[in-house]
A and B are shown apart, each in its own frame.
Chain A
């Protein structure tokens, strides 16, 4: 059963299976395992980023397309749901309508950008998406009468998902099942379903063609596959998934703004997660996103301690300053592109094979 749920794409490494199972169990029972709002926020963020990073891996790892516009689609999802809930009131209808509009806009945009630039070299596409995404981000903060500008928009979610809504108490666990926990599970199960769907896609004949294009687009074309068609469809699929991740994020955070959805910093984060976790395998997205977000939240605390401890030395405390955590992840990123381009997952599988 697990075999078919994972579309036959097993982790193929004992350590990896263990890690994935651990991540799955912790995320599935996060509201029961931890108290306080920070751990559950972290768990929800991990779920959202797993989807976002997996959709990016569909492009980068499976099709070999470098796009810098992925946050644009993430933002379209966030703004679509967010502005709909803000403008048309906190009902399920407006959320659904907003999501539908966002999906259409995202797919059309991905289609147009793809048609314009996927015919040419990878580098061309990377540059064009970079330009388009930054123009979109600036546009979103300029059109402040619609989008709330730099401040973004805070909005109310449907009644059922509000923290004030108490469904029932679980006195045995000392826990109250409220709208917040319900929205966590909405995010969690959406993430799970989307990840399984993505696994389905990459392990289908269609996914194999994408990998063939990644390895050698010329040969794929010669075998009779219309490369532009496949690339464009992959682009639209990835965009749609990113839109859904954006919608999940909007529902969870109840806020949407340029810094949380559209900024280039998030694009870099996604890139780091994909590469460190492992390009070309969706489990890499899971591992990368989890590791990165844990590092984002907890590495800084560790670095603060280290920075304190070395405060007598010159420059070292600055290097270890908690705000500089991205420096070390950047170094890790470069090292992983050099030395283990298949990322953590690839390394683990290699170890398993070597045994």
Chain B
């Protein structure tokens, strides 16, 4: 008789080791900047601004990174969704100007909520159409994908000109969200706090969906190994359409927030953000939501600190950050897709 003791079935599977080293970079970066900046009040303001900016970039980038992870499609037209997400609220907020002008925070937020819903539905529908018309015929052909999504970007940007006109438009913040809350010496702008709250909510909801639901499980499995999920009988294409729509809607949400943050908008608004978004998803590791979140915070911290310390090299600093991180981990902080 075999005397080997079988391991009891109740034993849990070994846990995947947690890799927390990259998480430490953000606080280290923030603390390293403190002596350089000097005044703690400025530092707090800059850090909060960076967190707000990082959350907005994360909201935009998270959809893109998932779309890539699932189907290896990189949508260069993502910027168009940002722009449309920025323009839709303008149309919605125009008849609601009474609510926007009012000082009552509840009315402001109600108007904003309507605007955001409109933006997300608009970009979601557009994302569906984009997937159908532009992306679907060129699955698996990287070169054509890059070219054709770029073409989609050109056409979409031109259509924005047709529908909304080309000149720069103002995008006033609702009255109740202007100004800052002061706690002691620290002044915290209200809209930035709202942006942080929205970004965190999106991150938490996304983590819950990805880690606690069956759809999330399938998405994660699809990112790891698409063929295997298909072999098990799931239609990953349909799942992908859903992710594409959700990602586009998130870009719309991010676009609305970005336009309110900048308080002006042009048809090229997407292009400016997209550069940061690309840096973020490269830093984070293509396909990784957690990496994307971390990357967004890092990029925003870097942009805000260098914007204060040496404004002329602010953009180049993010390239340097990217290079440094790629030297350390060539596939990004949290590499996922092994393609």
Interface residues of A (CB under 8 A from B): 60, 64, 66, 116, 120-124, 126-128, 130-132, 134-135, 138-139, 142-143, 264, 268, 271-272, 275, 315, 318-319, 321, 323-324, 326-327, 329-331, 333-334, 337-338, 341
Contacts and interface: CB of A to CB of B under 8 A. Distances in A.
Interface in B105-159: 134, 137-138, 142-144, 146-148, 150-152, 154-155, 158-159
A330 B326 contact: no
Interface stretch (B177-185, B186-194, B308-316): B308-316
Shortest Cβ-Cβ A-B pairs, 10 listed: A327-B158, A330-B154, A334-B151, A330-B155, A127-B278, A333-B151, A135-B315, A142-B312, A134-B275, A138-B315
Q: B-side binding surface: helix, strand, loop or mixed?
A: helix
Nearest to A130: B278
B74 A143 contact: no
Contacts of B137: 338
A124 B161 contact: no
Contacts of B271: 264
A178 B166 CA distance: 41
Contact of B154 (A64, A121, A142, A333): A333
A116 B315 contact: no
B142 A123 contact: yes
Contact of B275 (A64, A66, A131, A139): A131
A333 B155 CA distance: 10
Q: Which residue, B147, B148, B279, B281, has most C-beta atoms of chain A within 10 A?
A: B147
Nearest to B276: A131
A127 B312 contact: no
Interface stretch (B17-25, B234-242, B317-325): B317-325
A324 B339 contact: no
Contacts of A327: 154-155, 158-159, 161-162
A135 B74 contact: no
A139 B315 CA distance: 8
Contact of B316 (A139, A331, A338): A139
Interface of B: 68, 74, 76, 134, 137-138, 142-144, 146-148, 150-152, 154-155, 158-159, 161-162, 166, 271, 274-275, 278-279, 281-282, 286, 311-313, 315-316, 318-319, 322-323, 326, 330, 339
B278 A131 contact: yes
Where chain A touches its partner, the secondary structure class is helix
Contacts, number: 104
Given A116-B323, A122-B143, A135-B315, A326 B278 contact: no
A122 B150 CA distance: 15
19 contacts: A60-B143, A121-B142, A122-B146, A124-B282, A127-B282, A128-B278, A130-B278, A131-B319, A139-B316, A268-B150, A271-B150, A275-B147, A323-B161, A324-B158, A327-B154, A327-B161, A330-B151, A331-B155, A334-B134
A300 to B, nearest CB: 13
A1 B289 CA distance: 60
B162 A319 contact: yes
Given A128-B282, A275-B147, 12 more contacts: A122-B143, A122-B146, A130-B274, A131-B275, A139-B316, A272-B154, A318-B162, A321-B162, A323-B161, A326-B154, A326-B158, A338-B137
A337 B148 CA distance: 7
Given A121-B142, A128-B282, A337 B147 contact: yes
Contacts of A116: 323, 326
Nearest to B76: A126
B147 A271 contact: yes
Contacts of B166: 323
Nearest to A320: B162
Nearest to A324: B158
B188 to A, nearest CB: 29
A324 B161 CA distance: 8
Contacts of B274: 130
A139 B151 CA distance: 27
A272 B158 CA distance: 15
Nearest to B311: A142
B279 A330 contact: no
Contacts of B74: 123, 126-127
